[in-house]
Structure 1
Amino acid sequence: MKTMTLEVMGLKTQLNIMISILIFTLLMGRPLVINAKEPQELQGFSYSPFEYIVREQYYGDMLPWEDVRSLLPHKVKFQVIDLDTGLSFRVQKRAGNQHADVQPLTRKDTQIMKEIYGNSWSWKRRAILVNTNDRMIAASMHGMPHGGGGLSNGFPGHFCIHFAGSITHRTKNSDPTHRLMVLKASGKLAEYRNEMNPYEIIDLFITAINQSDPYMLQMTLSEPHTLQMAAILKRMDRMGMVSKHTSFKKLKKLPIVALEVPVELQSYQRDQGKERKSYTFILTRDVITNRWEILSEDFLNLM
């Protein structure tokens, strides 16, 4: 079990989880290992049927920014916990009326944050938990130092933490990817995903690639592809940014079972540069869950 889990869970919750795991082990007649791999190997994808049972115990509350602001006054110090790796570090809020502008508290905190991002600063969003006054709040951060900073911490600037309903300084709009990460941190992303139409599923797929988020990616795929996640994970490591070059030509009335969606995408890969190409996504509606999933393998050409 992740070290972070032991830090933030109560004893009763831990015991309940361990009892559930023991029962599962006895019923299945085989040992169960949870997160036996290093965080860098997992890259956010669950290899264990119990990872998300454990994870549900430490999802955060999805509080609106208006409420969070009063909980995070100027220069307050709090803990940031990365949902996928379980790594945590301390920060101080330095500014921010539309969202929280924060800095790692010490050089050690900066080192941990950089480790979360694979030792390379990035604008990619990550689902996090903000732990303040023993309350876990669902949030999203990026990992790119920018602007000013005022602490001797080895971090050249500050970074942003977004919550439900927070907006960016520049556009004054909610950032769609931060919004998805907040849903993920609150445990509500799967429910939100189930209500998506096929065009929104493709957008979620593109977001998952751009954010290198296997958990989000596997939500968009039909079962045959989820069984290939190990191979897809390796391909994602080579991916750069992907964007739609043109908007969808949406049908007014969706078909009952399946849909083909041609999409012109522009991709950037480190070893190939920019490329614009047309892809056809075939999506099917699951007869049991009624949710749309990507069935075609054409998307693999993106990777």
Structure 2
Amino acid sequence: MLQKREKVLLLRTFQGRTLRIVREHYLRPSVPCNSPLCPQPAVCRNDGKLLSSDVTHYMIPDWKVVQDYLEILEFPELKGIIFMQTACQAVQHQRGRRQYNKLRNLLKDARHDCVLFANEFQQSCYLLRERGESMEKWQSRSIYNAATWYYHHCQDRMPIVMVTEDEEAIQQYGSETEGVFVISFKNYLDNFWPDLKATHELCESILQSRRERENESQESHGKEYPEHLPLEVLEAGIKSARYIQGTLNVNKHRAQIEAFVRLQGASSKDSGSVKVEIVRSYVPCQISLPTLAVWDRGLVFFPPQLFVYNF
């Protein structure tokens, strides 16, 4: 019997407004597990692609592993991979359609021993997000809960290895359930695929690239543009007329060098606008929202937003 739930989504528009969207979410007592060890294949309706029967374990990647190491997961030598619906949706929302389509093609390819498990539609696997819980923590908790259910569903006959980059998840879930192991992706490759040199080299390259990006981010913090002013300073500056408040609009014909500030309360651009010159890869203004203008390869991206400009 289906169980009905309601999922509440809070979406922010380009105008800064927050929309509350409620969607119906139906849970089923059984969804395809796509495992040859399934005790009730007719109930699960395992009509499609099945996992290989000659593997020593099933591997379930966390959402972060799917995002960062998808190129490694595409190696046909890696077998018995179960992609959770939660991880796939995280890739779609955070990495875009291009990488999501790569993941879909991987699941469809008969040469790769991997399947999709719709954990968010299974009654025993679906978890509500707790109040104050971050999206990342909920995703990891949902994937681990689904991994535990999958292990018991296969009658404890196949060990499950959940790989994650979250150290807290490793500490919390590592020894919680017998037969379900939680380790880092690098440790997984070192222990289960030590002779697969290509995956180790690619993993090291990805880790090195991540470390370089983190170092560049730390070095450039506060140096490429002025830091945000505290909210109370902005409010005081507006009251004292040191700052003006308005909406930033970039000239689409001269996006690299020109933008206009629409002052609050002005009826037209001509009667209430301030011209802004774009210099040295940033606009000389103080953004009141927690995002800065992005300068990338000669293009400037300025979503219309409220900001404060300093004369």
Which TM-score band (shorter chain)?
under 0.3
When normalised by structure 2's length, the TM-score is 0.21
